[in-house]
Every structure is written in C-alpha cells, then in structure tokens.
C-alpha cells in the first residue's frame, strides 16, 4: 500500500490545482474555437495545446517547465552546470525575441504592398489605428504598471502578436506570457470584436461607399519600396530596425523575382516552423502559478480596450479624411488599420458585402492593413527607445 501511495504522489492527479484545471480548459477552448470557428487555427491550436502541456503538474526535481532554464550553480565549492528543460530551450526563442523577426521575414515574403503604393493616403489609416497603443500605454500607467510594463502592454493595441512578444521581451519579460496570449487571443477574435464597432461608428450610407479600383503598380516601384521604406522608417524609429529589416528583406526577396526559392522558403516552411515553435512555447508558458494573477487579468482587460480603440481610431480617422476628400473612403476600411493581417481586411470585406454584395473592399483594406504592420513595428521601436 505504501508503494502504491508513493506512486500516486508522483502523478499529476495528486498535485493538480484549480488553476491548472482552468488553464487546461482554456487551452481546450482555444483548440475548439480554432477547429469549429476557424479562428486563427495556425495560432490557436499550437497555443491551446501548449497551455494544456504547460499546466500538467510537475514533480519536484524533474526539469520539464519552460521556466527551468539552464544555469550555473555552486555545489560543494565547485561551479556546476545544470541543463534546462527541453521546453525552456524552445522558449528561448520567445524570451530573447528571436522568433518575431523570423515571422516578420515570412510576412514580408507573403505581403503585396501594391494596394498601399497605389493609394498612399490609406497609409494614414494604419497610422491612426496606433492610437490604441498609446492610449492603452497611458491607461496601464494609470492602473499602476511602471513605464516599461505599460509600454509592453500598450503594444497589444497594434494587434500584432510577434511585435508584442518582441517588445515585451525587451521591456517587461515578466509579463511576456500574459501579453503574448492576450495579443494572439484578440488577433484570433478579430471577426467577433471588430464588426460591432464598425457598425456602431458608421452609417449605412457610409458603408455603401464604393472606391475606385487601385492603379497598377510597376515592378520598379515594388522593388524600390522595401529599401526606401526601411531607411525612412528606421531613421525615424531605430528600435524597429530588426523587425522592419526582416519584413522588408522578405518583401525584397519576393519582389526582386530573382530569389524566388528564398522567398518561397521564407513564406512557407520557415514561417510554419517558427509559428509552431512560437505558439506552442507561448502556450506552455501559461503555467497557472505564474499566469493567473491580478496583473494578467488587467492585461487582458487593457488588451481588449486597446484593440477596440485601435479599430475605432481607424474608422473615425477615415470619416475625418472624408471631410477633405473628393473621392470618399469607405470608413469600414479604417478598421483594417490594425495589423492583424489579413483577417482585419477580410472582416472589412465581409461587413461591406453585408450592405452591398457587389462592393469589393478587400484590396482597399489591405493597404491600411499592411501599413498597420509597419506602424505597430514603428510604435514598438519608439516605445523601446523612449523607455530604455
């Protein structure tokens, strides 16, 4: 009987807590949403499974957690190396900000900036949506977070998971798990969060506005843009150098037409591998003991507010621009200023076609959508520079 009792004590059933059960259920919900609702399955399935794995209770002395990092310790007067867990090595790419630039490389190799180049004024909508970042930054300070933590929380408003991970790894690594989960959760819930805000802030007449088809952009423009845009953006915000450098490098691989093999690798196999590692290790970092805190709940609340403000900021700025434009912009397009590519643009198309099935807004919405990717990276670079 004693042997049986000792065995039972080594099982997860003995030490599992209510917090672990709650986080496992959240992981299951993420997976269910991905499968049944098709909400960002490439993100929610790895994150959900990671949350389940990360909340199985561990046995004392077994190095299994993402937080069991390798270290040097002093034993009997000698310095001894203790290796970390396997998961901690996977998590290394998150905690040191390695995965996000690789994701940006893949995004750049997939992105077509033609619609943005054909109608440059739509870039302003991507910039306007960043109001969510800075208002949330102020809100986090008001709630008692320090400046660095507030900056890391604020970037959730950009609706860009890799950027949120990159900045929080630099400014507030202790909040990395909560910020990453919040950012990716709201990215996945774009089809749920954005439509009510878009309808609330626009009239039916505005939603029916049709825009002219974008002009054809030359190959020369496409090749010049990544180099020119990188120099301009990073001279303004040097802190965005790594993210934007990889984004525009990936785009140059695509548009140069002479490195198709590299571009294809970046936008397929490489970004898929990084997404798996990033999503799973972020999910595994949500151990109940470190994740279920008052700070985490505040971050989730601020993240939702940030995303709503960013969406509203883009829509309202489009309405403001229409006061001065002869060729009106459909204000729905402003909601795509957040950098949840391409889901926000698809939501704009969906809401627009609910009013007029022959109104095609997708290509127009992609302009502020990709501008939002650039804008969130610049916002992160500015916050990093100012707060360090």
Q: What local confidence, expressed as pLDDT, does residue 286 receive?
A: 87
Q: What local confidence, expressed as pLDDT, does residue 244 receive?
A: 95
3-state DSSP helix/strand/coil % of the chain, to nearest 5? 75, 5, 25
Overall average pLDDT of the 207-226 stretch: 90
Q: What local confidence, expressed as pLDDT, does residue 5 receive?
A: 66
pLDDT band at 303 (very low <50, low <70, confident <90, very high): confident
Does position 332 have pLDDT exceeding 90, yes or no? yes
Overall average pLDDT of the 30-46 stretch: 89
Q: What local confidence, expressed as pLDDT, does residue 377 receive?
A: 92
Number of Cβ atoms within 10 Å of the Cβ of 215: 11
Q: What local confidence, expressed as pLDDT, does residue 161 receive?
A: 84
Encoded tokens for 103: 């994701």
Closest CA to 45 of 21, 27, 23: 27
- Range picked from 40-44, 303-307, 312-316 for highest mean pLDDT: 312-316
Angle (CA) 303 377 295, round 5°: 25
Overall average pLDDT of the 5-9 stretch: 64
Contact 162/175 with Cβ under 8 angstroms? no
Does position 74 have pLDDT exceeding 70, yes or no? no
Give me Rg for the CA atoms of the chain: 22
Angle (CA) 284 39 264, round 5°: 80
Q: Is the peptide bond before 342 cis (omega within 30 degrees of 0)?
A: yes
Helix (H, G, I), strand (E, B) or coil at 143: coil
Average pLDDT, the chain: 88
Q: What local confidence, expressed as pLDDT, does residue 197 receive?
A: 94
pLDDT band at 351 (very low <50, low <70, confident <90, very high): very high
Contact 111/370 with Cβ under 8 angstroms? yes
The owner of tokens 């909560």 is 178
Does position 334 have pLDDT exceeding 90, yes or no? yes
């Amino acid at each position: 009987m004693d042997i049986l009792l000792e065995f039972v004590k080594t099982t997860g059933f003995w030490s599992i807590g209510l917090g672990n059960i709650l986080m496992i259920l959240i992981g299951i919900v993420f997976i269910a949403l991905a499968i049944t609702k098709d909400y960002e399955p490439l993100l929610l399935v790895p994150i959900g499974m990671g949350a389940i794995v990360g909340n199985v209770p561990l046995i004392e002395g077994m190095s299994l957690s993402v937080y069991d990092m390798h270290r040097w310790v002093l034993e009997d007067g000698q310095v001894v190396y203790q290796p970390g867990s396997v998961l901690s090595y996977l998590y290394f790419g998150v905690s040191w900000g390695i995965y996000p630039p690789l994701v940006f490389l893949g995004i750049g190799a997939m992105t077509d900036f033609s619609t943005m180049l054909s109608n440059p004024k739509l870039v302003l909508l991507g910039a306007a949506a960043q109001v969510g970042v800075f208002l949330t930054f102020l809100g986090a300070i008001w709630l008692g977070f320090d400046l660095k933590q507030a900056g890391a929380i604020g970037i959730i408003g950009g609706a860009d998971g890799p950027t949120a991970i990159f900045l929080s790894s630099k400014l507030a690594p202790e909040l990395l798990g909560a910020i990453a989960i919040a950012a990716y959760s709201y990215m996945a819930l774009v089809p749920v969060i954005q439509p009510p805000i878009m309808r609330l802030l626009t009239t039916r007449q505005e939603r029916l506005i049709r825009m002219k088809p974008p002009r054809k952009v030359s190959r020369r423009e496409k090749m010049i843009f990544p180099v020119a845009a990188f120099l301009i953006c990073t001279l303004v915000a040097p802190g965005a150098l790594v993210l934007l450098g990889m984004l525009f490098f990936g785009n140059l691989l695509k548009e140069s037409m002479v490195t198709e093999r590299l571009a294809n690798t970046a936008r397929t196999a490489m970004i898929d591998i990084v997404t798996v590692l990033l999503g799973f290790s972020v999910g595994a970092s949500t151990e109940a003991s470190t994740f279920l805190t008052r700070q985490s709940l505040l971050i989730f609340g601020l993240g939702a507010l940030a995303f709503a403000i960013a969406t509203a900021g883009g829509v309202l700025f489009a309405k403001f621009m229409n006061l001065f434009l002869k060729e009106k912009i459909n204000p729905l397009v402003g909601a795509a200023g957040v950098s949840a590519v391409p889901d926000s643009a698809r939501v704009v198309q969906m809401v627009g076609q609910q009013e007029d099935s022959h109104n095609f807004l997708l290509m127009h919405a992609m302009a502020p959508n990709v501008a939002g990717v650039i804008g969130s990276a610049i916002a992160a670079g500015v916050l990093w520079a100012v707060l360090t």
